[in-house]
C-alpha cells in the first residue's frame, strides 16, 4: 500500500517550506513522491512555489475547490486525484491542505472504499510557527489545536529568527498546550515536538519525522470556519513596481479596518519575463525574483473587509 502523509499547519506557518525539505530527503532515500496541494482556493500559489523541486521522483499536483464552494465537488476531485496517483507508482503521497482545514476530512476520505485498499496513513505532521502570535482568536486557536491534536510530529518553524530561541519555544509550547486544553484534548505533546532550525535537521531527525505516525486524539469539535470569518481574496493583473507592492502590503497589514489579514502571497510580473514572488505575514515579508510565476496576489485572513483591502489594489481585477 502507498503511504500518505498529511502536513498541517495554520496559515503562514511554513508548511510549503517544510515540504520542500522533507520531499528532497525522501527523494534522497529512493522514494517516488507525489505532493498534492489540496487547497480551498481556485488558484494555488503554493503549487508554483514547489515547481522547482519537481524531478523524475517528485511530482506536484493540485486539487482546487470549485468556485461555488461546493464541498462535495471538491471532495470528488480530491478522491479522483488520489485514485489516479495510486495508479502511477508512487511510494508516498504528501497532502498539503490549506491553513484552514478540518482534519477529520483527511481520515474520513482515506478510510473510504476504494482508497482504504490503496493507501495507509503514514504520518500527520503539524508545523507551528515559533513566533506564533499571542492574541489568536478563539476560532484560530481551535484550528491550531485540532491540527496539532493528531500529529505524530510537531515541528516548530522559524526558530533561527527568534532572539530568545529557548524562551520562544517554551512560550509557543505553552500556547499550544492551552489551545489543546480549551478543546478538551488531554494529549501530551512534549515527546513529539521537534524544535531546532531546519538547516540543522539531521538524517536522524528526518527519519524520526518519516516514522512519526499519528494519533486519533479526541476533542470537542466545532465548525472550522463560519461565514465571513476566513476568506481568500484574489487580485489578478496587478502591474505595479516591486517597491510599490512592498509599500502596499505593509499598509494592508497595518490597517485595522482591513480586518485580521494573516497572509499575503503570490506573484507580480516584471520586465524581461521575470517575476517577483511574495510571501508575507505580519512579522515577515519575503520577496524574491524568480523565473516563473502566476499573475495573482492572494490576501488571506479572518473577518476581512474586502472593500478596504481592494482599495490598496485598485488597478487589479478582483476574483
- What is the spatial distance between Cα 294 and Cα 269, in angstroms, rounded to a whole number? 8
The C-alpha atoms of residue 259 and residue 303 are separated, in whole angstroms, by 6
188 and 239 both lie in a single domain: no
- Residue 240: which CATH number? 3.30.1220.10
Q: At what angle do helices 165-182 and 138-149 cross, to 10 degrees?
A: 90
Please check whether residue 100 is in contact with residue 230, taking contact to mean a CB–CB distance below 8 angstroms.
yes
Whether residues 121 and 50 fall in one domain: yes
53-67, 96-110, 182-196, 250-264, range with the lowest pLDDT: 53-67
**Between 120 and 10, residue with greater pLDDT:** 120
Count how many domains the chain has.
2
> Is residue 218 situated within a structural domain?
no
Q: What is the pLDDT of residue 25?
A: 97
- Helix residue ranges per DSSP H, 87-202: 104-110, 138-149, 165-182
d(CA 305, CA 300): 11
Order across the sheet with 317-318: list the strands: 285-290, 275-280, 260-269, 296-302, 230-236, 317-318
Q: What is the mean pLDDT of residues 187-193?
A: 95
Residue 144 lies in a domain: yes
Are residue 56 and residue 178 in the same domain, yes or no? yes
Average pLDDT of the residues in 40-65? 74
Residue 45 domain-assigned? yes
Pairing state between β 285-290 and 193-194: unpaired
Whether residue 238 sits in one domain with residue 186? no
Q: Are residues 145 and 35 in the same domain?
A: yes
My answer on whether 24 and 160 are in the same domain is yes
Within 10 A of 34 (CB to CB), how many other CB atoms are there? Answer: 25
Q: Is residue 220 part of a domain?
A: no
- The per-residue pLDDT for 44 is 58
Q: Does residue 222 form part of some domain?
A: no
Instruction: Check if the beta carbon of residue 203 is closer than 8 Å to that of residue 288.
Output: no
Residues 149, 266, single domain; the answer is no
224 within a domain of the structure (yes/no): no
Q: How many CB atoms lie within 10 A of CB 73?
A: 13
Q: In angstroms, rounded to a whole number, what is the distance separating the alpha carbons of residues 27 and 24?
A: 5
| 108, 179: one domain | yes
Residues 53, 196 within the same domain: yes
Asked, for residue 216, whether it belongs to a domain, the answer is no
Tell me: pLDDT of 247 over 90: yes
Cell numbers representing residue 146 in the block: 485540532
Domain that holds residue 20: 2-210
Separation CA 284–CA 157 (nearest Å): 13
Band (101; pLDDT cuts 50, 70, 90): confident
The predicted pLDDT at position 53 comes to: 86
Q: What is the pTM of this model?
A: 0.85
147, 180, 210 - which closes a domain: 210
Q: Which of 210, 240, 261 corresponds to the end of one domain?
A: 210
65 and 12 inside one domain: yes
Q: Which residue has the cell 506564533?
A: 132
Of the listed ranges 176-185, 194-203, 215-224, the least confidently predicted one is 215-224
* Co-location of 196 and 235 in the same domain: no
* Residue 42 DSSP one-character state: S
Coil, strand or helix: which one is 256? helix
Tell me: do 92 and 240 sit in the same domain.
no
Partner residues linked to 288 by β-bridges: 277
Amino acid at each position: 500500500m502507498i503511504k500518505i502523509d498529511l502536513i498541517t499547519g495554520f496559515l503562514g506557518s511554513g508548511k510549503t517550506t517544510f515540504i520542500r525539505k522533507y520531499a528532497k530527503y525522501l527523494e534522497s532515500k529512493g522514494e517516488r513522491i507525489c505532493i498534492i496541494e489540496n487547497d480551498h482556493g481556485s488558484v494555488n500559489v503554493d503549487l508554483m512555489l514547489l515547481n522547482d523541486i519537481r524531478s523524475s521522483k517528485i511530482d506536484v499536483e493540485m486539487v482546487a475547490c470549485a468556485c461555488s464552494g461546493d464541498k462535495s465537488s471538491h471532495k470528488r476531485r480530491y478522491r479522483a486525484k488520489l485514485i489516479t496517483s495510486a495508479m502511477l507508482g508512487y511510494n508516498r503521497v504528501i497532502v498539503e491542505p490549506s491553513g484552514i482545514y478540518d482534519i477529520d476530512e483527511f481520515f474520513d476520505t482515506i478510510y473510504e472504499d476504494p482508497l482504504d485498499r490503496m493507501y495507509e496513513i503514514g504520518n500527520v505532521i503539524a508545523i507551528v510557527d515559533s513566533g506564533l502570535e499571542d492574541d489568536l482568536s478563539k476560532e484560530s486557536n481551535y484550528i491550531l489545536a485540532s491540527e496539532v491534536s493528531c500529529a505524530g510530529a510537531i515541528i516548530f518553524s522559524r526558530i533561527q529568527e527568534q532572539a530568545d530561541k529557548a524562551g520562544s519555544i517554551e512560550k509557543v509550547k505553552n500556547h499550544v498546550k492551552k489551545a489543546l486544553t480549551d478543546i478538551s484534548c488531554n494529549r501530551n505533546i512534549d515527546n513529539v515536538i521537534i524544535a531546532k532550525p531546519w538547516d540543522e535537521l539531521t538524517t536522524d531527525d528526518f527519519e524520526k519525522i518519516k516514522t512519526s505516525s499519528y494519533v486519533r486524539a479526541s476533542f470537542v469539535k466545532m465548525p472550522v470556519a463560519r461565514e465571513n470569518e476566513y476568506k481568500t481574496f484574489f487580485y489578478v493583473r496587478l502591474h505595479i513596481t516591486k517597491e510599490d507592492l512592498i509599500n502596499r502590503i505593509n499598509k494592508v497589514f497595518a490597517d485595522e479596518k482591513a480586518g485580521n489579514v494573516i497572509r499575503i502571497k503570490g506573484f507580480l510580473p516584471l520586465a524581461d519575463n521575470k517575476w517577483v514572488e511574495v510571501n508575507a505575514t505580519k512579522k515577515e515579508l519575503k520577496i524574491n525574483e524568480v523565473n516563473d510565476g502566476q499573475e495573482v496576489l492572494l490576501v488571506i485572513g479572518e473577518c476581512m473587509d474586502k472593500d478596504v483591502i481592494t482599495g490598496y489594489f485598485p488597478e487589479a481585477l478582483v476574483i
